[in-house]
């Protein structure tokens, strides 16, 4: 009898443990998992509830309305004021096609529903809301429109930003699509081999070509391993594999500054080999390659060959931005910003403020440094070299009268097609207000010829129109 009761109690304890585990799991699920589950686009409730809430507007830094919602019968529908212009920034929000970009990643803010389900409900009890928050972007509508017009008919991306705060003024990726007519265009969009849904500025990975030489140069300066007089014959042979200059002619005797001005491949290939992959990748990683870049939209990780087992040819190629180096245009804009901002790279920002329905600013971004890429002296030295690139070298097309512009051109060999044309830079060199990266995908021309003039125009427009 004694034994029997003991066993009965053991079984009872077992069943109680099962029940308690149900309660624990249910609570755990509700607190930690429910939000993610709830926001799955497969959840039909989302749409039923959402369409009853007036989704917040999205405005540019000057208050211009870019997207808003309006009552359409019983439910709200989204209106995009500028068609394709913001397809890669704001994205779209449709019941049948889901959401993308800021509409997706700021969904809770736009609807004014909180992250935690429990908090949400408490809040709903106190104050049932039916109106979302407004997003104020760092984007300058005029510059965005201007930048996209500069790129008309081309493929590629532009990122223009404030180097000392990280605010993105313009971010263009072409081809794009029109969120207003998404339903009609969907079939064409998904079948288009130029992938208009891809935001090239943050998800496109390209070889940076010669623009990457600024990183190699910084590594050489920091490690004191640059060559004072290098005899450039136009070709450097690494492990029997010739690395040629763009035009194939030699530059004669060059130092680091001159090598950058004329974008001398053999010089940087030799320098890269001298530095070795360890030092090179250390500098590259400080400039956010191989790193996650925090941003309001997800950014693809730029790639640089890892330390360790890698051949000399690969090191040589990497040091001139070819081979296994792949970067996003945003990353290149951040590299330019870092040099402009005394060596500190600031966190890139798209959303400047969150404004509640009664006009109060409930959240605003704070400038935040995410990497100390180099020291102020090296940054300064590089800046002067980049000014020379624009004044005397490959970047002449980026010159602006009366303003010192720093820049670097790049022409990246593209194994699957025509060359990519690159330009990165900032202005004014002495007090940088704007930093930029421009890539023209498969342009088949040099960065100096095609990308530099676009960058110049945008920088000039930004300096003339953006004040703060």
Partner 1 sequence: MLNRGVNYKIPRNLLFLFESIALFLMFMYYRNALDRSTIIYGLSLIFIIYISNLILSKIVSGDNYIFLIVTMLASIGIIMIYRINYEQGFKQIIWISLGIVLFFATYFIVKRIKGWEKLFLYYCLASVFLFLATLLLGRRFKGAINWISIGGISFQPTEIIKILAILMIASYYTNYDRFKEKKWGRYYLIGIMYLFVFFLFLQRDLGSVLIFCSLFLALQYIYDENRKLVLANIVVLMFSGLLGYVIFPHVRIRFETWINPWEYIDTIGYQITQSLFAISEGGFFGTGLGLGHPDFIPEVSKDFIFSAICEEMGILTGIGVIMLFMILVYRGFKISINQRNKFFRIVALGISILFGIQSFIIFGGVINMIPLTGITIPFVSYGGSSMLSSFIALGILQVASEELDIEED
92 and 80 in contact (C-beta within 8 Å)? yes
To 10 degrees, the CA torsion angle through 241, 244, 248, 254?
A: -120
Please say which residue, 95 or 291, places its beta carbon nearer to partner 1.
95
Q: Does 396 bind partner 1 (CB under 8 A)?
A: no
| Eight-class DSSP state of 421 | E
Please say which residue, 23 or 415, places its beta carbon nearer to partner 1.
23
Residue 1 C-beta: closest distance to partner 1, Å? 10
Q: Are strands 58-59 and 134-137 parallel, antiparallel or unpaired?
A: parallel
Q: Does 126 bind partner 1 (CB under 8 A)?
A: no
Please say which residue, 120 or 290, places its beta carbon nearer to partner 1.
120
Residue 459 C-beta: closest distance to partner 1, Å? 46
Residues 6-25 that bind partner 1 (CB under 8 A): 7-12, 14-16, 18-23, 25
Residues 308-347 that bind partner 1 (CB under 8 A): none
432 and 341 in contact (C-beta within 8 Å)? yes
| Rounded Cα distance, 459 and 170, in Å | 11
Select from 77, 79, 117, 310 the one that contacts partner 1 (CB under 8 A). Answer: 117
Which residues does 395 contact at the CB level (< 8 Å), separation at least 6? 386, 389, 405, 407, 408, 409, 423, 425, 448, 452
Please say which residue, 121 or 231, places its beta carbon nearer to partner 1.
121
Please say which residue, 23 or 71, places its beta carbon nearer to partner 1.
23
Contact range with partner 1 by CB under 8 A, out of 3-11, 85-93, 350-358, 387-395 = 3-11
| Rounded Cα distance, 459 and 401, in Å | 12
| Rounded Cα distance, 393 and 260, in Å | 8
Output the six-digit token pair for 8: 């009965």
Q: Does 152 bind partner 1 (CB under 8 A)?
A: no
Please say which residue, 130 or 194, places its beta carbon nearer to partner 1.
130
Residue 32 C-beta: closest distance to partner 1, Å? 11
Please say which residue, 16 or 367, places its beta carbon nearer to partner 1.
16
373 and 343 in contact (C-beta within 8 Å)? yes
Residues 34-53 that bind partner 1 (CB under 8 A): 34-35, 37-38, 40, 42-45, 48
From residue 201, alpha-carbon distances to 101, 130, 165 in Å are 13, 35, 19
Residue 34 C-beta: closest distance to partner 1, Å? 3
Please say which residue, 1 or 71, places its beta carbon nearer to partner 1.
1
Interface size with partner 1, residues (CB under 8 A): 38
Segments in 141-199 forming alpha helices (H): 141-150, 182-191
| Eight-class DSSP state of 38 | H
Output the six-digit token pair for 460: 């000039």
Q: Does 129 bind partner 1 (CB under 8 A)?
A: no
Contact range with partner 1 by CB under 8 A, out of 30-38, 75-83, 131-139, 185-193 = 30-38
Residues 250-289 that bind partner 1 (CB under 8 A): none
**How distant is the alpha carbon of residue 167 from its chain centre?**
11
Q: Does 120 bind partner 1 (CB under 8 A)?
A: yes
Select from 2, 4, 96, 431 the one that contacts partner 1 (CB under 8 A). Answer: 4
Render 255-316 in DSSP notation, one character per residue. -HHHHHHTT-HHHHHHHHHHHHHHHHHHHHHHTTTTSPPP-SS--PPPB-PPSSS--HHHHH
Contact range with partner 1 by CB under 8 A, out of 29-37, 88-96, 101-109, 403-411 = 29-37
Please say which residue, 4 or 228, places its beta carbon nearer to partner 1.
4
| Rounded Cα distance, 282 and 321, in Å | 15
Q: Does 360 bind partner 1 (CB under 8 A)?
A: no
Positions that interact with partner 1 (CB under 8 A): 4-5, 7-12, 14-16, 18-23, 25-27, 29-30, 33-35, 37-38, 40, 42-45, 48, 117-118, 120-121, 125
């Amino acid at each position: 009898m004694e034994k029997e009761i003991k066993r009965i109690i053991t079984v009872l304890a077992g069943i109680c443990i099962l029940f308690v585990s149900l309660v624990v799991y249910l609570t755990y699920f509700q607190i930690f998992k429910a939000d993610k589950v709830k926001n799955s686009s497969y959840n039909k409730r989302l749409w039923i509830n959402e369409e009853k809430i007036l989704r917040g507007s999205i405005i540019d830094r000057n208050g211009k309305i870019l997207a808003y919602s309006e009552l359409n019968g019983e439910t709200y529908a989204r209106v995009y004021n500028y068609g394709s212009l913001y397809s890669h920034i704001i994205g779209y929000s449709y019941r049948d096609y889901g959401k993308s970009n800021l509409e997706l990643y700021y969904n809770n803010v736009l609807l004014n529903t909180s992250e935690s389900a429990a908090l949400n409900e408490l809040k709903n009890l106190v104050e049932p809301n039916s109106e979302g928050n407004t997003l104020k972007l760092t984007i300058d509508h005029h510059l965005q429109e201007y930048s996209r017009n500069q790129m008309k008919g081309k493929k590629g991306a532009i990122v223009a930003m404030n180097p000392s705060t990280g605010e993105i003024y313009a971010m263009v990726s072409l081809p794009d699509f029109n969120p207003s007519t998404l339903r009609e265009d969907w079939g064409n969009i998904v079948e288009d081999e130029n992938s208009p849904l891809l935001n090239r500025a943050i998800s496109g990975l390209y070889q940076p070509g010669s623009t990457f030489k600024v990183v190699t140069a910084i590594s050489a300066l920091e490690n004191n391993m640059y060559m004072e007089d290098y005899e450039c014959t136009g070709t450097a042979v690494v492990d029997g594999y010739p690395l040629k200059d763009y035009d194939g002619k030699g530059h004669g005797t060059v130092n680091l500054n001159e090598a950058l001005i004329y974008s001398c491949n053999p010089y940087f290939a030799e320098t890269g080999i001298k530095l070795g992959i360890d030092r090179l990748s250390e500098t590259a990683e400080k400039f956010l390659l191989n790193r996650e870049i925090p941003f309001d939209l997800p950014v693809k990780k730029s790639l640089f060959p890892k330390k360790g087992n890698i051949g000399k040819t690969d090191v040589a190629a990497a040091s001139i931005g070819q081979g296994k180096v792949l970067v996003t245009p945003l990353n290149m804009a951040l590299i330019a910003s870092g040099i402009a901002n005394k060596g500190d790279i600031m966190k890139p920002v798209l959303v400047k403020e969150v404004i509640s329905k009664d006009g109060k600013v409930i959240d605003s971004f704070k400038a935040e440094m995410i990497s100390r890429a180099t020291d102020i002296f090296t940054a300064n030295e590089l800046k002067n070299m980049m000014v020379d690139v624009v004044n005397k070298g490959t970047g002449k097309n980026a010159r602006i009268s009366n303003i010192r512009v720093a820049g670097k051109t790049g022409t990246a060999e593209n194994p699957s097609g025509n060359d990519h044309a690159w330009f990165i830079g900032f202005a004014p060199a002495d007090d940088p207000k704007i930093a930029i990266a421009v890539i023209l995908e498969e342009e088949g021309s040099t960065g100096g010829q095609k990308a530099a003039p676009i960058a110049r125009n945008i920088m000039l427009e930004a300096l003339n129109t953006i004040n703060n």
